[in-house]
Amino acid sequence: MRHFNVELPKYRLQLHVKLVKRRKPLLDEPIIPTVSVVKRKYRKGSYPGRFARYLADHKNIRKILATGFATIMISTALIPQPNYAQAEAGENLIIETQTNLLTEKSVTYPTSPIKINQGYSLFHRAIDFGGTVETSVKPVTAGVVAYAGWDKSGYGNLVILQHKNGLDSYYAHLSKIEVKTGQSINTETEIGKMGATGRATGIHLHLEIHQNGVSINPLTVLSR
């Protein structure tokens, strides 16, 4: 540190000047420097730190890194990437054919209005619908008449229909049967009239649904 004093009229100017010897820049700095080059360029800090500073400050190294990064970005944009999502979706793709909607309902209640007198239970594996002898009885879904006639076991006038998926429906105690065995029917076909034939305590429709020969709750079908 050198001090300079300048005398001016009525003023005194004091200057403090610090002279620092400037290091000459290294000519043709190598990309991979030697230990002496790093120590000569950077005087302070640990050698690993000075080495890192050397690489960060080297113009050629920065150019190389910038060029490499740009090349990677351009290559990524130009090279088509495999669409794994599309491939996976293609493997699991299920093509469903379009089904035209019918004017009739696929599953419906056999009587209208709907009045349930007795539900399904362990000792009553059916549903009883209330009504009058004029109440029309229709199939719960389309099918084929497997039986239409008198049943001696207590059903009275009975109609049994066969449907898809192993389903059979029983319509018992009818006062009148209006279909024949082997006839194809749909939900608009009247199969009979409600009655009290067979072992019945009053006018009603006794509806049973069997799947693969096993009795099930009719509501599991009617609720679809």
DSSP codes, 83-119: -HHHHHHHHT-------PPPSS-SS--SSSS--EEE-
Q: What is the mean pLDDT of residues 95-105?
A: 40
pLDDT digits 0-9 by tens, 122-172: 999 999 999 999 999 999 999 999 999 999 999 999 999 999 989 999 999
Domain range list for the chain: 2-78, 116-222
179-196: burial string, b at 16+ Cβ within 10 Å, e else: beeeeebebebebbbbbb
**What is the reported pLDDT for 98?**
39
Q: What is the mean pLDDT of residues 45-71?
A: 66
**What is the reported pLDDT for 52?**
72
CATH fold group of domain 116-222:
Glucose Permease (Domain IIA) (2.70.70)
Backbone φ and ψ of 73, nearest 5°? -65, -45
Q: Which is more confident, 178 or 86?
A: 178
Q: Which helix (H) or strand (E) covers residue 40, if one does?
A: helix 35-41
**What is the reported pLDDT for 42?**
66
CA 83 to chain centre: 20
- Which residue in 124, 120, 177 sits closest to 148, CA to CA? 177
Confidence grade of residue 96 (pLDDT, cut at 50, 70, 90): very low
Q: What is the mean pLDDT of residues 164-188?
A: 96
Q: Over pLDDT 90: what percentage of the chain?
A: 50
- Integer Cα distance of 156 and 151 in angstroms: 5
- Say if residue 209 is exposed, middle or buried (CB neighbours under 10 Å; 0-12, 13-18, 19+): buried
